[in-house]
Structure 1
Amino acid sequence: MVRLGAGAGFAGDRIDPAVELARHGELDYLVFECLGERTVAAGHARRLADPRAGYDPLLAARLRAVLPSCHGAGTTVVTNSGAANPEAAGECAVRVARELNLPSRVAVVTGDDVLDLVRKRDPLVWETGTRLSAIDEELISANAYLGAEPVAEAVAEGADVVLTGRVADPALYLGPLVHELGWDVGDYDLLGKATLVGHLLECAGQLTGGYFADPGTKPVPDPARLGFPFADVAADGTATLGKLAHTGGRLDPRTCGEQLLYEVDDPGAYVTPDVIADFSAVTFTSVGQDRVVARGATGRARPDELKVTLGFRGGWLGEGQLTYAGPRCLDRARLAADIVRERLVTVHGVAEEAIGIEYIGAGAAFRGLSDAADPVEVRLRVSARVPSAELATAIGWEVESLYTNGPAGGGGARSDAREIVAVRSCLVPREDVRPAVRVVS
C-alpha cells in the first residue's frame, strides 16, 4: 500500500493544507501539482528576462513549510514546480534544505523543453490549422508532456525531492506508484487505474469540496479550513481516498464524481503520455466518513505522439476598471466607456476592434445572453490587446482619468498592464523526446 497526498492543485494554491498533510498524513509521497499551460509559458517569459527565474515563485516557501515534517516522516516530495527552469528549481531546493539543515537528495527531471525540435520539425499547430512556420508571433517556448517513467526513475535514485518541468499532471502520482509497486509500464490496465488516482488528486482541494460548494444545495463544512486529500493505493490499483479528520471540507462520491469529469473530454479515452485511460466504468463507494473507494478504471496502449504546449509573445494587455453605483449607473458606465473608447482610438491610436468593454454586474459574465435591466451597481472594465507596454499603460490611465473627466460617481479605479504569452498546441513523435534525470545534491 502506498499513500500519496495532494499538496497543491495549481501554482497559487494554499500552503497550510499541505503542511497539515506533511505533519499528520503519514504519507509516502506529497505531490505539488503547480503547473498549467499558461504557467509554463509565462515561466519562459520570466526566464528570458532572468536566466535564474522561470520556476514556481512559491517553491521555496512550500519547501520551507513542509520539508521538516517530510524529513521526519520519510515522505518524498514530488512537484512540477520546476516549470520553465527545473535545474534552477533544483538549486533552489538544495538551498532551502541547507537553510533548514536537512540532508536532502534532490533530483531534477528535464527533457520536456523541445523548442529546437519543433522549430526543426515545423509541426501542425492545432488552433490555427497551419504549420508552425506560418505563425508570425515570436515562439518563445515549447514543452512536451512527459510521462511517469522519468519521475519513477528519479524516485528510484533515492530522491527526497523530485522536481520536474512539464509532465502530465497524473504522472506526478503515477511515477511513485510504478516505482513502489513494481508495475510494468506496459501494463496499461494498472496504469489506467493509477491515472484515475492521479486525476482525482491533481487538483487537491477540488476533491474535498473546493469548487464543489454551493450554499443550500451542496454544503461543505468549514471551507475556510479545507483539507487536501490523500489516497491509499493497493498493488492491484484499488484506491481509497480520504482526508484528515480534523480538517474542513467533504469527500464523498459526489465530490469525486465532479472531479472525475474535470477537464475530461471523453471519459472513455483520457489521453496521457502513459496510457489512454478509460474512466467510463468508474464507481465510487463510501466506506466511512470522508473515505471513498475508487474502482473501475482501465487503460489501453499509450499514444505514439506527445502533446506540446507552445508559447508565443502575444503583445500586451492593458486594462482599467471603475465602479458606478446608484440610479442610472449602467447608463453612466456606458457613457464612460464611450469616452475611453474614443480617446484610445483618436489620442493613442489603438485599433477600435482591439478594445473590449465589459459591464460587470450587468450581465457581463453571460456575454450578451442576459442583461441586468436595472443593476444597483456596475463595474466598467475596459481592456485592449496592444503591441507595446506604453499603449497597455494608457488603457488604465484613460479609465482613471474619468475621476474628473467623466460621468458622475465613479470610484475604485484599478489598472493593470502585462505582457501576453499566447498558448497553442501541437504533437511530436514520442521517440524524438528524451527525458533525463539528474541528482543535484
Structure 2
Amino acid sequence: MADPSLFLAPQMFEFGWAFDDWPRLGRGTLVGHLLECAGQVSGGYFADPGFKDVEDLARLGFPLAEIDADGNAVITKVAGSGGRVSRASCVEQLIYEVHDPAAYLTPDVTADFSQVGFVEEGVDRVRAQGASGRARPDQLKVSVGYLDGWIGEGQMSYGGPGAVARADLAREVVLKRLALIGVNMQDLRAELIGMDSLHGPRSSVEPWEVRLRVAARCDERSDAVRVGNEVETLYTNGPAGGGGASKSVRQVVAVGSLLLPREAVKPRIEE
C-alpha cells in the first residue's frame, strides 16, 4: 500500500472506477499524493518567513479536495482556518518523493505527473489538472525491518565567548577517549549543532552557542553505552562551561527494501 492509495480507494468506490481505468487512477493518485502529507500542501511545512509567508499557522487547516467523476480536483481547506493553499504549495508537494514524474510507481497504477499543472481559482483554491496513468507495475516493493546494532549518543552545550573553541576541544577529548578505551564502532559522527552538523563546512560567522553531539553505531550495546558516558564526563573533566548533558542508547531497527513479483503477495483482509 502506498500513501496515495488511502485516498484513491474511496474515489474508486464512490465513482465506480475499474481497477484498470489507468487515466482516472492516475488522476486519483495525484489527489492522494497532494493530500498525503496533510498540512504541507496547506502551508505547514511550506512556511518560510520572509520568503513564503503563511498566516495563522497555529490554526493550520488541513487540506481537502473537491473531486469530480473523472478525477479532476480542486485543492482547498476549511474556510476560516489558518494556512495557505496556493499554486506554489501544490508544486512543492507534487515533487515530494518523486523521482520520475512520468512514472510515479504505486501498487495501483503507474501515475504520470509530467504534464500536471495548477491553476489558482480563488483564495485557497487550486485546480490540479493534467495527470494520467498507465498499467500498474508487475512488482511490489517490500520493506523488511531487521536489527542492526545499537546507537549510543551523548550531547553537551557550550555558550558565550569561545563557545566553539571549547566545543571543539570537547569533541577532541571524547574522540581520543573512545580510542583509548577501545570502543568498537562501525559508524561515528562528532559534530557541533549550530556550526557544522547539517551543511558540513563551517560558515564564517561564529555562533553564540553550540551543542556537541557524538553518536556511534556499535554491534554491542555495552559499547554504545560508553559513547554517551564519555560525553557526560565532560561535566568536570572537559573544557569549561559545558552544561545540559544528555545521553541515550537505542537499538537500531534498520529497513531493507526489495521487489517481489506481484503474484507472490497474497492480500488478506481481517475484520
What CA deviation, in whole Å up to 9, does each residue of 1:368-411 have, x standing for no partner?
A: 3x434533221100000012333222222221111111100001
Question: Does the Cα contact within 8 Å between 2:194 and 2:210 map onto a contact in 1?
Answer: yes
Name the SS of the counterpart of 2:161 in structure 1: coil
1:203 partner letter: C
Aligned to 2:197: 364
Please state if 1:412 is matched with 2:244. yes
The two structures, once aligned, show a CA RMSD in angstroms of 1.4
Pick the aligned partner of 2:48 from 199, 214, 223.
Answer: 214
Pick the aligned partner of 1:259 from 93, 104, 126.
Answer: 93
1:438: Cα distance to partner?
Answer: 2.4
Identity of aligned residues (%): 54
Runs of 4+ in 1 over 4 A off after TM superposition: none
Name the SS of the counterpart of 2:198 in structure 1: helix
1:337: Cα distance to partner?
Answer: 1.2
1:421: Cα distance to partner?
Answer: 1.3
The 1-side partners of 2:257 and 2:185 are apart by: 29
1:337 partner letter: R
Name the SS of the counterpart of 2:133 in structure 1: strand
Pick the aligned partner of 2:78 from 244, 257, 270.
Answer: 244
The count of residues paired between Structure 1 and Structure 2 equals 271
Map 1:24-423; keep pairs closer than 5 Å: 167-347=1-181, 349-351=182-184, 354-368=187-201, 370-372=202-204, 374-423=206-255
What CA deviation, in whole Å up to 9, does each residue of 1:94-139 have, x standing for no partner?
A: xxxxxxxxxxxxxxxxxxxxxxxxxxxxxxxxxxxxxxxxxxxxxx
Question: Does the Cα contact within 8 Å between 1:199 and 1:260 map onto a contact in 2?
Answer: yes
1:352: Cα distance to partner?
Answer: 6.1
Name the SS of the counterpart of 1:436 in structure 2: coil
Question: Does the Cα contact within 8 Å between 1:281 and 1:297 map onto a contact in 2?
Answer: yes
Question: Does the Cα contact within 8 Å between 1:341 and 1:352 map onto a contact in 2?
Answer: no
**Larger helix proportion, structure 1 or 2?**
1
1:186 partner letter: D
Length-normalised TM-score, structure 1: 0.60
The 2-side partners of 1:307 and 1:295 are apart by: 28
What CA deviation, in whole Å up to 9, does each residue of 1:212-266 have, x standing for no partner?
A: 1111111000111111111121111111111111211000111111100011111
The 1-side partners of 2:123 and 2:230 are apart by: 55
Length-normalised TM-score, structure 2: 0.96
User: CA 1:169 to 1:263, structure 2 compared with 1: closer, same or farther past 3 Å?
Assistant: same
What 5-or-longer segments of structure 1 have no aligned partner? 1-166
What CA deviation, in whole Å up to 9, does each residue of 1:10-32 have, x standing for no partner?
A: xxxxxxxxxxxxxxxxxxxxxxx
Question: Does the Cα contact within 8 Å between 2:186 and 2:219 map onto a contact in 1?
Answer: no
The 1-side partners of 2:185 and 2:163 are apart by: 24
Name the SS of the counterpart of 2:99 in structure 1: coil
The 2-side partners of 1:183 and 1:359 are apart by: 54
Please state if 1:438 is matched with 2:270. yes
The 1-side partners of 2:200 and 2:132 are apart by: 39
**Larger strand proportion, structure 1 or 2?**
2
The 2-side partners of 1:177 and 1:437 are apart by: 20
